[in-house]
Amino acid sequence: MVMSFLNIGKSAFQTFFGLLFTIDCILNGRTNVIIMFGSFFSNLLNFPFLLVTTGLITLICIFSKISHSIFTSILILSLLRHISVDICAVLSSSFIEIRISASICLMLVISLPVGLGLGLIFYNLSNIAKFSFALCMIPCIWAGFFYSNELLPIFRNIQVYSQSIIFTIALIHIFYLLTKSNSRFQSIIFCLILFIGILYPDLKRQFITKFSNFELIDSSLSTNLVTIVNDHELDVKIMRIDHSIVGGVFNEGFESVFETFYWYELACYVPWLKSSPEVRKKRSLVIGCGVGIVVDALVNRCKFDQVIVVDNNADVLKFASKYFNLSGHASLINRDGLEFMIAQDANTFELIVHDIFSGLFMHNNNYIQDLISNCFRILSNNGILVFNLVANVEMEILHHIMQQFQNVFKQSRCFCEGGINSLNTGALVNFVFFASKSEKPIQFVVSNYHRAFQSALKEFKSSEIQVVKRKNYNKINQHQIEWIAEESHFKSMRKMLPLSFWLLY
């Protein structure tokens, strides 16, 4: 009877651990992949690969004779996860093509450990329970795909404590192995791996920091990895979100390291906007905060009476205020940009700046239509919309947006970073649109501009392209085009800053 209760307790313990480990690997593993390679390499397009690999590993584990071998394997993988990610990150920039290394990383940090975790659960279940559990997994996977934003806060709470629980269970497992004479050598090896796994992140940071010019100022991982870093060699302060640099300033003079951000300010120099008698109180809306370069311009140089900044990442707003002098005269709102615009009254803002960085996240044509139409609705009759999009000239999203601007606005102009020549390179580039409800042409009359703005203006004048929907883009192979675009972004980020930055900060 005692042995029966012990076996039930042991099965319940391993089932609980397998479930916890599976959730932890999905959350932390996917986070690691996003941070190192970008969200494109961990989105739904890759889940068939993950599901097949995970399913095969689970089947192998179900027919395993010893549950302890599964238990030991998943603990070792948990402890070596960070090492696996770092190795894949090094390989992707030096030896192996990025798609191969990203696939290896997906297998090592998500599909392989998740398969082992599910295998441990299935091993301890009866045949009826196995069938029932498999049926329950289907709605769980479906819910995870389609309700990830709603489930994320719950998952984050689990993620906070999962590593501590796994380390605790690992120690219990080691002591259990020590009680068995034929498992003592295994327990010593496992204890060594546990020790290395605990110390590895700090040891890595201490080692690489000796050869690095960077200093970590602050970081957070509430929704995305957001870090603030000083580059002592260039004397600049940078904000990183996952695998992207979203902004930075020179510490001396506090000027933006990216000149394109100053292009947005040109909307303030449209003569009929400045002199319109209808505008009594100038109001502006900024969707996507970054480090706050455009907000600083609207408050301090363009003298808007009200500046509202909306960003769906609370850490970005907090760090921009704390480390980049984001003006206290701006109203900061942590909310989805489109949701906020839908809730606003018509003809509310004289200037809207929409900058959420990348077109890779706008796959839904209905979303684009809602976005542009709501920008039009809440823009005043004499207002200007500035819309920034990072895209490849062959991406379908760019042409849908161009079509919407033609259909909705009476006047629009488009400027491309690098000019017309950059469109033929196949790389991701900045497209900055200026649009208006007015019949009057959009012209910029600039005077008394500051030094950084003067430099940005030289490139701006030669960067205009025609806002027409290109008819020769490839509609069929959009998946491949998006792969190339994301790969281009990955490589440009790795050229901008060394590998040590991405591994540590």
Q: What is the mean pLDDT of residues 420-445?
A: 80
Residue 431 has pLDDT above 60, yes or no: yes
User: Is 239's pLDDT higher than 90?
Assistant: yes
Give the pLDDT band of residue 374 (cuts 50, 70, 90): very high
pLDDT at residue number 248: 92
* Between 233 and 189, the higher pLDDT residue: 233
Token pair listed for 394? 């062959």
What's the confidence (pLDDT) of residue 377? 94
Task: Identify the CA nearest to 471 among candidates 399, 395, 366, 414.
Answer: 399
Q: What is the pLDDT of residue 320?
A: 93
Q: How many CA atoms lie within 13 A of 126 on its CB side?
A: 3
Q: Is the pLDDT of residue 473 over 70?
A: no
Query: Best-predicted range by mean pLDDT among 142-151, 409-418, 448-457, 460-469?
Result: 409-418
Angle between helices 184-209 and 81-94 (to 10 degrees): 50
pLDDT digits (tens, 9 = 90+) for 18-39: 777 787 777 777 778 888 887 7
Question: Which of 497 and 49 is assigned the larger pLDDT?
Answer: 497
Rounded to whole angstroms, the Cα distance separating 341 from 196 reads 50
Phi and psi of 275, rounded to 5°? -100, 5
Q: What is the mean pLDDT of residues 482-498?
A: 81
Residue 420: how many other CB atoms lie within 10 Å: 12
Percent of the chain's residues with pLDDT above 70: 83
Higher local confidence (pLDDT), 376 or 453: 376
- Strands annotated E in 221-377: 226-231, 236-241, 244-250, 283-287, 306-311, 330-334, 349-358
Predicted confidence at residue 107, as pLDDT, reads 83
Share of the chain above pLDDT 90, in %: 14
Residue-level pLDDT at 342? 93
**Tens digit of each residue's pLDDT (9 = 90 or more) over 275-293:** 555 555 689 999 999 898 8
Query: Looking at residue 317, what is its pLDDT?
Result: 93
Task: Pick the closest to residue 113 from 165, 160, 78, 63 (CA basis).
Answer: 78
Q: What is the mean pLDDT of the chain?
A: 79
pLDDT band, residue 272 (cuts 50/70/90): low
**Lowest-pLDDT range, 38-47, 119-128, 132-141?**
38-47
Candidate ranges 12-26, 70-84, 434-448; pick with highest mean pLDDT: 434-448
Give the confidence band of 1 by pLDDT, cuts at 50, 70, 90. Answer: low
Phi-psi domain of 347 (left: phi exceeds 0; alpha: psi -120 through 50; beta: other): left
d(CA 408, CA 375): 10
Mean pLDDT value of segment 80-93: 81
Asked if 106 and 42 touch (Cβ cutoff 8 Å), the reply is yes
Q: Residues 208-218: what's their mean pLDDT?
A: 84
- pLDDT category at 85 given cuts 50, 70, 90 is confident
When pLDDT is cut at 50, 70 and 90, the band that residue 434 belongs to is very high
More confident residue, 302 or 129: 302
pLDDT at 456 over 60: yes
Q: pLDDT value at position 36?
A: 84
What is the DSSP code (8-state) at residue 418? T
Residue 240 in this model has a pLDDT that exceeds 90: yes
Per-residue pLDDT reduced to its tens digit, 290-335? 898 889 888 888 888 899 999 988 999 999 999 998 877 889 999 9
Coil, strand or helix: which one is 391? strand
Q: How far apart are alpha carbons 64 and 360 in whole angstroms?
A: 42
On the question of pLDDT at 101 being above 60, the answer is yes
User: What pLDDT was estimated at residue 308?
Assistant: 94
Q: How far is CA 258 from CA 248, 267, 285, 365, 417, in A?
A: 7, 18, 21, 29, 11
| Per-residue pLDDT tens over the stretch 333-373 | 999 888 999 999 998 999 999 988 665 566 667 788 899 99
- What does the pLDDT average to over 219-236? 87
Given a cut of 60, whether residue 100 has pLDDT beyond it is yes
- Domains defined along the chain, listed by start: 2-201 (no CATH), 253-476 (3.40.50.150)
Q: What b/e string do you get for 131-166 counting C-beta neighbours within 10 Å, with b at 16 or more? A: eeeeeeeeeeeeeeeeeeeeeeeebeeebeebbeeb
Q: What is the mean pLDDT of residues 172-176?
A: 74
